[in-house]
Amino acid sequence: MTESKEELLAAARAAAEKAYSPYSKIRVGAALQAADGRVFAGCNVENASYGLTICAERAAATRAVMDGAREFRSLAIWASLDEPLPPCGACRQFLAEFGGDLAVVIEGAKGGRIETSLGELLPQAMGPDHIGG
Ligand code: THU
């Protein structure tokens, strides 16, 4: 099954409702579509020790890997901020582990969108090939 961009964004929006973000109060949801069509969602999970916060994108990716998915096609991100919230550097690197050929759509609460790709977000990424992986 292939989710459309709108369906993937809807999954990201639904995931954001699960956010645990008592400190920033920002809700973020990510929906990652695997090459086989499955969709894995994640939300941000904050911590009283702020630096331990896990972003929605990494939550989605770890969930996918746990379920055996390692090839991804597209990613939708939704955040409860007026403007689209681009993925942080850590999440870009984390996702690049699985290849840069990932379409990314990012939506803000006011409906504005950024359509890009992981390759654009993280050009010349360091990845498994560089370390013989
Ligand atoms: N956040 C994400 O979930 N993804 C990102 O790529 C950027 C930041 C979350 C982490 C924290 O809970 C809140 O947004 C503010 O940084």
Q: Quick one: which atom of ligand 1 is closest to the CA of 44?
A: 3
Q: Which residue ranges make up each domain of the chain?
A: 5-131
- Flag whether pLDDT at 94 surpasses 90: yes
Is the full-model pTM beyond 0.95?
yes
The fraction of the chain above a pLDDT of 90, given in percent, is: 95
- Mutation probe of ligand 1 site: the residue of 13, 23, 47, 55 with most atoms within 8 A of C-beta: 55
- Flag whether pLDDT at 103 surpasses 60: yes
Residue identified by tokens 């956010």 is: 19
3-class DSSP state of 2: coil
Do the Cβ atoms of 16 and 78 come closer than 8 Å?
A: yes
**pLDDT at site 107:** 98
Beta strand extents in 36-132 (DSSP E only): 39-43, 72-79, 103-107, 113-117
The response to whether residue 29 sits with its C-beta less than 6 Å from ligand 1 reads no
Residue whose CA is at the smallest distance from ligand 1 atom 16: 24
Q: For the CA atoms of the chain, what is the radius of gyration?
A: 14
3-class DSSP state of 75: strand
Ligand 1 centroid – CA 22 distance (Å): 12
In what helix (H) or strand (E) does residue 71 lie, and over which residues does it extend? none
**pLDDT at site 1:** 37
Q: Could you tell me how many helices (H) and strands (E) the chain has, helices first?
A: 4, 5
Q: Which fold has domain 5-131?
A: Cytidine Deaminase; domain 2 (3.40.140)
Q: Quick one: which atom of ligand 1 is closest to the CA of 43?
A: 3
**pLDDT at site 100:** 78
Catalytic residue flag (residue 71): no
Q: What's the whole-number mean pLDDT along residues 12-29? A: 98
Q: What's the whole-number mean pLDDT along residues 100-129? A: 96
